[in-house]
Amino acid sequence: MTKLGERIKKIRGKMTQKEFSEILGITQRAVINYEISGRVPRKKILNSICERFGICEQWLLTGEGPMRANADKREGRTCDTVAGESSVSSVQPIENTQSQSNKTCDMSQVSPSIRKNMELQERLLAAHERLLSLTEQNAELRLQLERRDMRIHELEKENAGLREAQKGAAAVFRAAAGDAG
């Protein structure tokens, strides 16, 4: 399970994946992919999770900062969710403020993974298309083979009939030759 998946599972708590998915308006398979496969939810889903469960987006994505929005006021850090956008704000004295890099979500590690996932999905799609094409070719070759086998069977029957006719003609010829002799 990925760390993001562990955090999503923590948010879900005792809810089933199905219940959680219904609240978010997504499929249960999507929740499974988030929790187990490490798939990163789209921004819309991230925002929905943060809004509906009062979660700080930065914590959800990175595990840093407070989990709950407005939960860590003792340290002077809050995570406010406003109109679907999470932001970490500081209410600490100026000499103790956090660096800007800690206030924003670093997606630099996620983007290459998403890009690689997309490339793999495209390769998988191409492989499926190739498999479909080969399956169609296989079916056509099997049909041709069946037609060939049927034609061979017809020719063998015809050949057997001609042999019988030839034997009958030879017997008649011998009988006629014996009568003439």
76 — phi, psi (to 5°)? 85, 5
Q: What's the angle, vertex CA 44, arms to CA 41 and CA 50, rounded to 5?
A: 80
Q: Could you read off the pLDDT tens digit of each residue along the chain, which spans 181 residues?
A: 678 889 999 999 999 999 999 999 999 999 999 988 888 899 999 999 999 999 998 888 888 889 887 765 544 555 654 434 444 443 333 333 344 444 455 566 677 888 888 889 989 989 989 998 899 999 999 999 999 999 999 999 999 999 998 888 888 778 777 776 5
For the chain, what is the radius of gyration of the CA atoms?
A: 37
pLDDT at 88: 40
Q: Which residues contact 58 (CB under 8 A, 6 or more apart)?
A: 64, 65, 79, 86, 88, 103, 104, 105
**Rounded-to-integer distance, Cα 140 and Cα 136, Å:** 6
